[in-house]
Amino acid sequence: MAKFYAALTPELAAFIGKQKVFFVATAAPGARINLSPKGLDSLRVLDEHTLAYLDLTGSSAETAAHLRADPRMTLMFCSFAADALLLRIYGQGEGIPPRDPRWGELRALFPEHPGARQIVLLRVASAQTSCGAGVPLMGYAGERGTLSEWARKKGEDGMAEYRREKNARSIDGLPTGLV
């Protein structure tokens, strides 16, 4: 049975801290709905009403574009361990690019990852748990390292050029505000 929360409890924060992957969903009017997996120790619970994740440069920038058009965002966590649980966090998202005065303080919360392009803040409106009994049991084998190695090889200048070419607009043509 689903249970709703007005804020993140210490138990929910502890559950989030144990997860190796989470999913981000956003949508903008007239655009495709986007659902992206995230990992690499890139998420922090800041308080009972705020989460932040370090967004790394990738092949598209749908979340950035969508949040500019419509700040609604959902994060989902799935337990792949013996204790089945799904957690969805609903709220309003905001992209914090490196030029934002808050960048330095927020960036210090995360390990070094090459290719960081923004930090996404989620202001929690509510959270919902459900059983997750249909989610398979799976084990964690480690991080891939592919994204980090690709970003390292490109270097800062190469990453900036890549973002100008590939991350300035969403796949639906919406501006991302990242460049």
The answer to whether residue 137 is domain-embedded is: no
Q: Provide the CATH number for the domain around residue 24.
A: 2.30.110.10
- Which own/partner contact pairs does 169-173 have at CB distance under 8 Å and 24+ positions apart? 169/61, 169/65, 170/28, 170/31, 170/60, 170/61, 170/62, 170/64, 170/65, 170/66, 171/32, 171/60, 171/62, 172/28, 172/30, 172/31, 172/32, 172/65
The answer to whether residue 59 is domain-embedded is: yes
pTM of the full structure: 0.94
Per-residue pLDDT tens for 13-38?
999 999 999 999 999 999 999 999 99
Quick check: 48 pLDDT over 90?
yes
Per-residue pLDDT tens for 99-134?
999 999 999 999 999 999 999 999 999 999 999 989
Length of the chain: 179
Domain encompassing residue 114: 3-132+142-166
Confidence of residue 43 (pLDDT cuts 50, 70, 90): very high
The answer to whether residue 157 is domain-embedded is: yes
The answer to whether residue 175 is domain-embedded is: no
The answer to whether residue 174 is domain-embedded is: no
